[in-house]
Structure 1
């Protein structure tokens, strides 16, 4: 059973979401403040975290930053509707996705399942499949990657995005195509998720010898993983 840690100080909401997620087959524990949440995340075996931005004592951004120091557990942020600043900050710190509040329990459950599919074994290949693009080696079956002979630490979302580019190395891939293959849904207007996650991947890959990023963007069109010269 998938273990979910639900972090939100709204007791009525967490009760509602916990009941629904339990019916969907999740095992849910809750925390009402950031400090308690960090302790639970560190001491319990948690498969995924739902984290509200607005909480007392320590906000969700600070909690996420603390969690990311020692864990790559998938995190879904609950954000205020229309608050792009918090959304982008969360994605920059390694959140896998976000849902604006108020959200329906059904939408939350669907997003959790989608994140877990991305974080778990890929359905696109077997455990024996090896995907190579220059010095990048990816193992879609067990969601592992290596860069220049060393393990490359990626979140589930980052792995899915980089896998799409690696399968099309040297070619421009549209943001719509990236969204369909990595997220399983069309890209919506003003959605910055792809840009923010790939910015994080760029930092992890570092720069080429010529100073360029390994992942090039073409404004309004998409992204391309450059091949070795």
Structure 2
């Protein structure tokens, strides 16, 4: 049974969401603030974490910063603020997706299933290869990345994106492919999720954000992994 950890301070909404997801066959654990979130994740890591942004005490953004070093699983922000800046910030902090409250239950369910399909698809490949480019080593068995002998901490989604780019080194990876296979929904022409994830990868892999030379953007097409830029 898939275990969902829901952090939502509105107890009525939390109960409604938990009841709906339980009816869909999920096991749901509810927290009403983030004070015990780290301990809960360490004790029983969830298959998916649903995190409200506006919480008493530490808000969702701060909690995401804190737990992302120890939790690499799917993280879905649930926010009442329909603000592009907040959505982009959430993705930059390591969220895999976000929904705007009030959210239609079927929409939330679809987003959850999309994240689970991506995780299942990655696991089912059982790809135990590793790839190396100069000082960059990507190991799909351990899902670890090292650059210049330093381990780079990536979320599950960031690792999958890097692996896809590296598998297609010296080729343009179409933006639609990233949305279909990794994000789990078609690209609508406006969604910036892929761009934010690429930006996070560049930052973690010490690429030049203003003039990238390791992971390039090919405008109107997608992204290009440069194989000889890792020495």
Measured against the shorter chain, the TM-score band is: 0.7 to 0.9
Separation in structure 2 between the aligned mates of residue 160 and residue 31 of structure 1, nearest angstrom? 29
State how far apart, in whole Å, the 2-side matches of 1:69 and 1:178 are. Answer: 24
**Match in the other structure for 2:155:** 155
Q: Deviations over 1:14-36 (max 9, x none)?
A: 11111121122221110111224
3-state SS of 1:169 partner: coil
Give 1:192 shift.
1.1
Is the CA contact 1:119–1:155 (under 8 Å) kept in the aligned structure 2?
no
Any conservation in 1 of the 2:114–2:185 contact (CA below 8 Å)?
A: no
Aligned to 2:114: 114
**How high is the TM-score relative to the length of structure 1?**
0.84
Q: Which sits farther off after the overlay, 34-43 or 87-96?
A: 34-43
Which residue number corresponds to residue 88 of structure 1?
Answer: 88
How many angstroms apart in 2 are the aligned matches of 1:69 and 1:155? Answer: 8
How far apart, CA to CA, are the structure 2 residues paired with 1:133 and 1:42? Answer: 32
Q: Does the alignment pair 1:75 with 2:37?
A: no
How many residues in Structure 1 have an aligned counterpart in Structure 2?
A: 225
* Alignment gaps of 5+ in structure 2: none
Q: Aligned partners of 2:122, 2:13: CA distance in 1, in Å? A: 32
Aligned to 2:218: 218
Whether contact under 8 Å (1:143, 1:159) holds in the other structure is: no
Identify if the C-alpha distance between structure 1 residues 42 and 145 changes in structure 2 by more than 3 Å, giving closer, same or farther. Answer: closer
Q: Which runs of 5+ in 1 are unaligned?
A: none
How far does residue 156 in structure 1 lie from its aligned partner after superposition?
A: 2.1
Q: Which residue of 2 aligns with 1:146?
A: 145
Provide, for residues 20-64 of structure 1, a one-character-per-residue CA deviation record: whole Å limited to 9, x for no partner.
211222211101112243443344332221001112222111111
Residue number in structure 1 paired with 2:51: 51
SS at match of 2:202: helix
Q: CA deviation at 1:124?
A: 7.1
* Structure-2-length-normalised TM-score: 0.83
- Runs of 4+ displaced beyond 4 Å: 135-140, 148-152
Q: What is the CA deviation profile of residues 63-113 of structure 1, one whole-angstrom value per residue up to 9, with x for unaligned ones?
A: 111212433232100123531121111111111111111112222222223
Answer yes or no: is the 8 Å Cα contact 2:207–2:215 preserved in 1. Answer: no
More deviation in 47-56 or 151-160? 151-160
Contact persistence 1:76–1:98 (CA under 8 A): yes
Contact 1:206 1:213 in 2 (8 A): no
Residue matched to 1:103:
103
* Aligned mates of 1:124, 1:43 — CA distance in 2: 26
- On the 8 A contact 1:131/1:167 being kept in 2, the answer is no
Tell me what 2:131 maps to. Answer: 132
Distance in structure 2 (CA, Å) of the matches to 1:34 and 1:203: 27
RMSD in angstroms over aligned alpha carbons?
2.6
Q: Does 1:63 align with 2:63?
A: yes
Q: Mapping of 1:189-208 within 5 angstroms?
A: 189-207=189-207
